Structure 1
Amino acid sequence: MDFESLRKKLAEHNQEHLLDFVNDLDEKSKQVLYNDITNTNIAEVVRFFNAATASMDTQTKVDDKMEPIPTEMFGSVTRSGKILKQWEKTGLEAVGKSKVCVLLLAGGQGTRLGVNYPKGMYNVGLPSGKPLYHLQAERILRLQRYSKEETGLSGTIPWYIMTSEHTQEPTEEYFASRNFFGLQKEDIVFFEQNMLPCMSFDGKIIMSNKGKIARAPDGNGGLYRALGEKVLGDMERRGIQYIHVYCVDNILVKMADPTFIGFCISKGANCGAKVVEKSYPTEPVGVVCRVDGKYQVVEYSEITLRTAEKRNEDGRLVFSAGNICNHFFTFDFLKEVVNENEPFLKHHVAKKKIPYVNEQGNIITPEKPNGIKMEKFVFDVFEFSNNFVVFEVLREDEFSPLKNSDKAEKDNPTTAKHALMSLHHRWVLNAGGSFVDKNDSLIPAIPSKRLKLDTTIRKPKTMASDKNGNDRRSANDVDHSLVICEVSPLVSYAGEGLEEVVSNKRFQSPLLLTEKYIKDKEMQIK
């Protein structure tokens, strides 16, 4: 270990402080630190920092450059009519021919959720007790069966799971201990995203202790560097043509949604985004649109209120396509991004509270942000697409993220649980079933769209209204305490096939509709 030469190299980038405590370490710890530093491209890290902070300082509003998505490249579950079934058929055929895979972004830690294990292992308190990973695995299983029922083709949907240094080992152990939730082991591919050093505001790499650099995952946009030859090669070997990418924390995510896949295929798209309509103009979500003729996600902080409030003649917001990190790529597009475009993706700055070792060698846990983590975003590749499409879905059907603990007012375990049970309640109602209370009186249906305030809806502390004065809220604001209903993903992927099970039947809450429940009922009838 030549620390003297290493110190000189570090000095070239003003990072020689990384060796301040080297003499306090034992030989084993010195070797760990030496490897940690020499395996880090310091020049590249400093270049990333300079570029990211420079763009942060020069950020301007982009209102005048923005255009909405062209009508011909826009699809919607509420406005596309009968063609939805054709899109679904196209998607199911692609699944049946084993041309579709799903790619899960699961590198983040559950810090805001208040747990020290991967989010996918979190149980929000459903009657089944199934965590997110379990629900998602069974949706894949059901979709494979559904595709065979509809097309006669027996396809497989490989599941690629991007973890990080913090989530890789516990995630792999968890899947193995659950026997991969019924999926074939060889059809689940784990790979790890890269970690980047955390930086102080003045451009110094932060040390987490005397002998280790503080690091964080390089954002969900780190996907493209992490894919590399190994994962892309596996996709190519399997004949994958279409990739569905999503984040682990959305409890309502539809794995490899055949309607979305079919829509993208029918449009000849090489890249697509699934979106939800913004609830109100100032909702803090990014919007998918065009800027200077290129597709991208514009954050709410990058536009003025005047632009956010613009409406079409039908009263809808002009820039209403709320990003939910749910994307479609063709294999050829993804391969081109990885091999050619990835170096051009910019890093974004996230100011964070990062534990560090001070000049006295003590580890400090800061009470306010003291440094930055550099991240790339998965949607930053939209600009490279020459045939980009957007597909709008209902928020109450497909988007309820789990980001915070129940101490927060939204996006917490309770809102996620309620969103899923509300959806499944409506599945049962739409299939001809009904719910009754202990007195055998019918329980009113839960509304699937935003309604004026009534006794089943809690008024939040702050409430936005549309131009007609109607309340604008998500499914998170509905009180679902009347009905506890969960439908196993193995029974139904998206509400299909429930008629013969629930039609003209009356149920009492709680209802857990599983394959075993159905078989037991069939036996009772016999």
Structure 2
Amino acid sequence: MAKGTPSFTSESLAALKQRYSNAGQAHVLKFFEDLEDETAAAFFNQLSGIDIERCNEFFDRTVRSPAGAEEEESVELEPLASGSFASALEGGSQADDLAQWRAEGMRLIRENKVAVILLAGGQGTRLGSSAPKGCYDIGLPSGKGLFEIQAERIKRLQQIAAGAGEQPATIPWLVMTSGPTSAATQKKFADSAFFGLKQEDVFFFNQGVLPCFDLDGKIMLESRGRVAVAPDGNGGIYEALRLSGALDWLRARGVEHVHSYCVDNCLVRVADPVFVGYAALRGAECGALVVPKKSWDEPVGVICMRNGRYGVVEYSEISTETAQLTRPGTASELAYNAGNICNHYYSLDFLQNRVPDIEASLEHHVAKKKITSVDIDSGDVVKPTKPNGIKLERFVFDVFPFVHKMAILEVDRKDQFSPLKNAPGAGVDCPETSRSDLIAQCIRFAEAAGATVQRAADGQEPSFEISALVSYAGEGLESLSGKTLAGDQLITDLDNIVVV
């Protein structure tokens, strides 16, 4: 080791080595004596921060002797009963309740009792970007990225919830980042003056990470002086909220209801007052928005009953025969039709008082990956050509089976769900489809207000956008009635529109 003053003592290093040896993971320290002081100190700190015994327990319980394996072999699936969820679809049986749900949601927002959590740990790697996915520009006329679109919806909703002449309501925004996205996300917010929101109303916190294991349960090294780690899945949100102090922060502000969503959905109605109001009036602990599946074979998880409890069955877990089942009395309505879109409601009491006791029962899931790592025998870095390691992760919906009171609301995907998953040009769930879906929504808003949006003679899609600062969900556009609007324009001010 290079000369210098280490940040640890020989006694503390010996204790660390003994601890890892007892855990059967002594190999991670094989190259420690060869490290430069600065690297050694960082490695010592990383190893000290890993609960190695707990990580071993996770691997053993998930991989070697997975709990509930026998039960999974005989899992009984049932679709959601038609009376167990509500629908906000046009013409739905509960459409008359929408006004009541919205009014309740607005009241709670006005009283500063609603917060939102943004799951923003993903990078735009598949999109060809190394920046956080929330920075991605889907090609709108405004050039705004996903963070900015969502921030402006929050700002607009705060204004309309408060009403004219009153102080704006406050919707705290909690942003869950990951190691690779944390610094860049916070810099983007700071450089953009928090997109017009108050800095003190935004709370950043990091999701946790877990070591990567080889197929035999040995922790893998990214380099000679660093353990290979990976995010612990979006289900790590619960522990991260607690450990970061976010829940206490919300409690101190008087928040009682929380809306959680993923950054990659350009149509998300942040702090959706209809959803929040619906769940709150039901006295729910947890809730979920669902959309009808496009087809029986759409690759999306479905919320259903698993062994009598709420859960999500992934598309890879359901048989073709089961996926094609239709509801009794219908020829085409799928029985398993509640597509999960990772858009959730929680009461703060549930997150703060019930989830900590639930966490110990939450299982991890195995993801076999190609993980670049150090060969312990040679010390060389090896880039594998096939999966050689295991990442353990939890899913955000793993809490569903433990929920006492669930609130599920069916919504129209064209209004609330357009995920950004795939590279440009993929043709599905990609930047082009996200852009098209948002523009189509803006056109619907204008036409619902009585306007006509001009289309090009060649049928090309207009480049038409209404800023979220002008309208959150189509409200406030009455002045457009009777006007024919130029198809290629960005509306940021209703007093300055282009008509033809």
- Alignment TM-score > 0.5, same fold: yes
Map of 2:341 onto structure 1: 324
Gap change, CA 1:63 and 1:328, over 3 Å in 2: farther
Q: 1:379 aligns with which of 397, 420, 440?
A: 397
Gap change, CA 1:232 and 1:280, over 3 Å in 2: same
For 2:495, what is the secondary structure of its paired residue?
helix
1:178 CA drift (Å)? 0.6
1:150 CA drift (Å)? 8.2
Map of 1:103 onto structure 2: 117
Q: Following the alignment from structure 1 to structure 2, what is the Cα–Cα distance between the partners of residues 137 and 367?
A: 41
Q: Following the alignment from structure 1 to structure 2, what is the Cα–Cα distance between the partners of residues 190 and 311?
A: 44
1:433 CA drift (Å)? 1.4
Greater Cα shift, 409-418 or 55-64: 55-64
1:61 CA drift (Å)? 6.3
Gap change, CA 1:386 and 1:438, over 3 Å in 2: closer
Equivalent runs, 1:257-296 vs 2, <5 Å: 257-296=272-311
Tell me if 1:74 matches 2:85.
yes
Structure 2 letter corresponding to 1:514: T
Gap change, CA 1:390 and 1:57, over 3 Å in 2: closer
Map of 1:498 onto structure 2: 477
Structure 1 letter corresponding to 2:160: Y
For 2:360, what is the secondary structure of its paired residue?
helix
Equivalent runs, 1:56-455 vs 2, <5 Å: 58=69, 65-78=76-89, 79=92, 80-149=94-163, 154-228=168-242, 230-312=245-327, 313-314=329-330, 315-358=332-375, 359-406=377-424, 408-437=426-455
1:436 CA drift (Å)? 2.7
Gap change, CA 1:209 and 1:167, over 3 Å in 2: same
Q: Following the alignment from structure 2 to structure 1, what is the Cα–Cα distance between the partners of residues 194 and 204?
A: 12
Map of 2:6 onto structure 1: none
Map of 1:477 onto structure 2: none
Structure 1 letter corresponding to 2:412: L
1:366 CA drift (Å)? 2.7
Gap change, CA 1:191 and 1:493, over 3 Å in 2: same
Greater Cα shift, 420-429 or 236-245: 420-429
Structure 2 letter corresponding to 1:294: R
Map of 1:449 onto structure 2: none
Alignment deviations for residues 108-137 of structure 1 (CA, whole Å, 9 cap, x no partner): 233322321211111111110000000000
Greater Cα shift, 227-236 or 240-249: 227-236
Q: Given that residues 402 and 416 in structure 1 are in contact (C-alpha distance below 8 angstroms), is that contact kept between their aligned partners in structure 2?
A: yes
Q: Following the alignment from structure 2 to structure 1, what is the Cα–Cα distance between the partners of residues 381 and 169?
A: 53
For 2:127, what is the secondary structure of its paired residue?
coil
Map of 1:519 onto structure 2: 495
Greater Cα shift, 178-187 or 148-157: 148-157
Q: Given that residues 124 and 136 in structure 2 are in contact (C-alpha distance below 8 angstroms), is that contact kept between their aligned partners in structure 1?
A: no
1:138 CA drift (Å)? 0.3
Q: Given that residues 63 and 307 in structure 1 are in contact (C-alpha distance below 8 angstroms), is that contact kept between their aligned partners in structure 2?
A: no
For 2:66, what is the secondary structure of its paired residue?
helix
Q: Following the alignment from structure 1 to structure 2, what is the Cα–Cα distance between the partners of residues 113 and 486?
A: 23
Alignment deviations for residues 394-414 of structure 1 (CA, whole Å, 9 cap, x no partner): 111111111222153422111
For 1:300, what is the secondary structure of its paired residue?
coil
Alignment deviations for residues 347-385 of structure 1 (CA, whole Å, 9 cap, x no partner): 111122222122432323333322121111111111221
Structure 1 letter corresponding to 2:396: V
Tell me if 1:27 matches 2:42.
no
1:437 CA drift (Å)? 4.4
Map of 2:22 onto structure 1: 12
Q: Given that residues 75 and 307 in structure 2 are in contact (C-alpha distance below 8 angstroms), is that contact kept between their aligned partners in structure 1?
A: no
For 1:301, what is the secondary structure of its paired residue?
coil
For 1:55, what is the secondary structure of its paired residue?
coil
Alignment deviations for residues 218-272 of structure 1 (CA, whole Å, 9 cap, x no partner): 1111111111262111111111111001111111110011111111122221211
User: How many percent of aligned residue pairs carry the same amino acid?
Assistant: 43
Gap change, CA 1:281 and 1:511, over 3 Å in 2: same
Q: Given that residues 201 and 372 in structure 1 are in contact (C-alpha distance below 8 angstroms), is that contact kept between their aligned partners in structure 2?
A: yes
Q: Following the alignment from structure 2 to structure 1, what is the Cα–Cα distance between the partners of residues 456 and 80?
A: 50
Structure 2 letter corresponding to 1:273: A
For 1:146, what is the secondary structure of its paired residue?
helix
Q: Which runs of 5+ in 2 are unaligned?
A: 1-8
Gap change, CA 1:339 and 1:5, over 3 Å in 2: closer
1:63 CA drift (Å)? 8.0
1:337 CA drift (Å)? 3.5
Question: What is the TM-score with the length of structure 2 in the denominator?
Answer: 0.91
For 2:150, what is the secondary structure of its paired residue?
helix
Gap change, CA 1:287 and 1:425, over 3 Å in 2: same
Map of 2:5 onto structure 1: none
Alignment deviations for residues 430-470 of structure 1 (CA, whole Å, 9 cap, x no partner): 2211123467xxx9xxxxxxxxxxxx8xxxxxxxxxxxxxx
Structure 2 letter corresponding to 1:124: I
Map of 2:462 onto structure 1: 483
Structure 2 letter corresponding to 1:66: L
Q: Following the alignment from structure 1 to structure 2, what is the Cα–Cα distance between the partners of residues 508 and 405?
A: 30
Q: Following the alignment from structure 1 to structure 2, what is the Cα–Cα distance between the partners of residues 285 and 438?
A: 35
Question: What is the TM-score with the length of structure 1 in the denominator?
Answer: 0.86
For 1:344, what is the secondary structure of its paired residue?
coil
Q: Following the alignment from structure 1 to structure 2, what is the Cα–Cα distance between the partners of residues 43 and 64?
A: 31
Q: Following the alignment from structure 2 to structure 1, what is the Cα–Cα distance between the partners of residues 316 and 253?
A: 42
Q: Following the alignment from structure 2 to structure 1, what is the Cα–Cα distance between the partners of residues 381 and 344?
A: 40
Structure 1 letter corresponding to 2:428: K
Q: Given that residues 97 and 153 in structure 1 are in contact (C-alpha distance below 8 angstroms), is that contact kept between their aligned partners in structure 2?
A: no
Structure 2 letter corresponding to 1:118: P
Q: Following the alignment from structure 1 to structure 2, what is the Cα–Cα distance between the partners of residues 485 and 23?
A: 62
Q: Following the alignment from structure 2 to structure 1, what is the Cα–Cα distance between the partners of residues 73 and 408?
A: 20
1:64 CA drift (Å)? 5.9
Q: Following the alignment from structure 2 to structure 1, what is the Cα–Cα distance between the partners of residues 455 and 239?
A: 54
Q: Following the alignment from structure 1 to structure 2, what is the Cα–Cα distance between the partners of residues 64 and 23?
A: 51
